[in-house]
């Protein structure tokens, strides 16, 4: 059996995970009803969808568009640069920072004003500075949407005003965007700021965040963006963190969005718990391997699980005998692969003692 040496390692025992006792409390799932045309709840690290309602439908999204604008400003701009406000930006309709043509404002303050006060003039100024024009910036928005995997989105402006019927997205796509944007610490800080003084603006204004969950209505909220137009209705994006797990909620055309978001967060936090499934460490030699042949897991893997799902995990490892293909560890939840990771092979003259993998190596089957 060992001579075949196309070793498939299947973990049949799930005690590799150390579950804190508090995470084993049983919570009954309860039915969810929102006021939204579409809604979604995802976990921000893995992107796992915990709840969805018409989440892939193309719809107008109003000012939550500005999450993309701010994301691109952080990624492609220098926040300390000064931006000269154009006549076109200064007369943009809708919510405004009341910027004047010829005025110079730091890109950082423009992004704060964009996310906290939803300034449409700020959105145009950012687009012109980062992209060269609103049209070129819209192209950049669509390129980034494609890169992220936003399949039901198309952008034609940086603010979300209803200028045409070609500007749209979905709650799923906006959750993907928020997940990506939150990876940047500068974006995350601005996204979650309750108030900001625009030091580069003369006279310096004091901006308070319009998002009520962020400013105190929900204690676990870590950031968010509001939106509204007559055609789009109320749109809202919020992130929240509890017990080491960050969740993202997006609703589109929701008349009771504040409460919708709180309800979805509470559902997520009560029923799912962030679980460490793989930890970076070295796997000791398996049967049939050279005693100096080791494989290393380099990246941790965490995933939100319900209590019931904790008993449905398996881990499989495949190592080819000729080493032409990199060895792989796959994590399955109820026979569905939720994560794959390549192992790094190394030969050691003086092998060190094995790590966490040795705790359950006796529970492994080989064939």
Instruction: Calculate ∠ Cα 77-78-80, nearest 5°.
Output: 140
- Nearest to 38, CA basis, from 59, 53, 58: 53
CA pair distance 318, 7, nearest whole angstrom: 6
Considering 60, 66, 179, 210, which one is annotated as catalytic? 66
Q: Is 66 a catalytic residue?
A: yes
Cα–Cα distances in angstroms (integers) from residue 58 to residues 67, 244, 295, in the given order: 17, 32, 45
Considering 60, 63, 169, 210, which one is annotated as catalytic? 63
Q: Is 118 a catalytic residue?
A: yes
φ, ψ (nearest 5 deg) of residue 246: -105, 130
**Residue 355 DSSP class:** -
Rg (CA), the chain: 24
Angle, to 10 degrees, between the axis of helix 134-148 and the axis of helix 66-76?
A: 90
**Residue 169 DSSP class:** B
Asked if 48 contacts 273 with a C-beta cutoff of 8 angstroms, the reply is no
Q: Within 10 Å of residue 355's Cβ, how many Cβ atoms?
A: 15
Asked if 312 contacts 334 with a C-beta cutoff of 8 angstroms, the reply is yes
Considering 95, 106, 118, 169, which one is annotated as catalytic? 118
CA pair distance 74, 18, nearest whole angstrom: 38
CA pair distance 361, 118, nearest whole angstrom: 55
φ, ψ (nearest 5 deg) of residue 76: -110, -10
Asked if 171 contacts 178 with a C-beta cutoff of 8 angstroms, the reply is no
Asked if 44 contacts 273 with a C-beta cutoff of 8 angstroms, the reply is no
Asked if 46 contacts 302 with a C-beta cutoff of 8 angstroms, the reply is yes
| Strand ranges across the sheet with 281-283 | 281-283, 293-297, 344-347
DSSP strand pairing (293-297 vs 281-283): antiparallel
User: Which residues are designated catalytic?
Assistant: 63, 66, 118
């Amino acid at each position: 059996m060992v001579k075949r040496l196309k070793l498939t390692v299947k973990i049949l025992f799930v005690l590799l995970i150390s579950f804190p006792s508090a995470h084993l409390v049983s919570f009954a799932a309860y039915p969810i009803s929102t006021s939204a045309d579409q809604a979604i709840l995802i976990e921000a690290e893995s992107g796992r969808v915990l709840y969805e309602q018409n989440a892939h439908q193309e719809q107008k999204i109003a000012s939550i568009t500005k999450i993309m604008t701010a994301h691109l400003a952080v990624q492609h701009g220098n926040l300390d640069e000064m931006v000269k406000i154009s006549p076109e930006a200064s007369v943009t309709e809708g919510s405004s920072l009341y910027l004047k043509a010829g005025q110079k404002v730091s890109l950082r303050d423009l992004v704060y004003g964009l996310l906290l006060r939803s300034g449409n003039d700020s959105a145009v100024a950012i687009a012109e500075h980062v992209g060269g024009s609103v049209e070129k910036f819209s192209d950049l928005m669509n390129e980034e949407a494609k890169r992220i995997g936003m399949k039901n989105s198309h952008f034609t402006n940086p603010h979300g005003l209803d200028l045409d019927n070609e500007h749209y997205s979905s709650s799923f796509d906006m959750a993907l965007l928020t997940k990506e944007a939150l990876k940047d610490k500068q974006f995350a800080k601005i996204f979650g700021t309750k108030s900001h003084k625009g030091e580069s603006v003369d006279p310096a204004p004091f901006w308070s965040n319009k998002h009520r969950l962020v400013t105190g209505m929900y204690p676990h909220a870590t950031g968010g963006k509001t939106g509204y137009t007559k055609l789009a209705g109320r749109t809202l994006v919020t992130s929240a963190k509890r017990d080491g797990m960050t969740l993202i909620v997006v609703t589109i055309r929701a008349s009771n969005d504040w409460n919708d978001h709180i309800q979805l967060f509470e559902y997520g936090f009560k029923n799912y718990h962030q679980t460490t499934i793989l930890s970076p460490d070295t796997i000791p030699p398996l049967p049939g391997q050279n005693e100096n042949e080791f494989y290393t897991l380099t990246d941790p893997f965490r995933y939100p699980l319900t209590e019931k799902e904790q008993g449905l995990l398996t881990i499989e490892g495949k190592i080819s005998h000729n080493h032409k293909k990199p060895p792989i560890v796959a994590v399955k939840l109820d026979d569905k692969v939720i994560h794959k990771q390549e192992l790094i092979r190394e030969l050691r003259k003086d092998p060190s003692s094995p790590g966490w993998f040795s705790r359950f190596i006796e529970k492994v089957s080989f064939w």
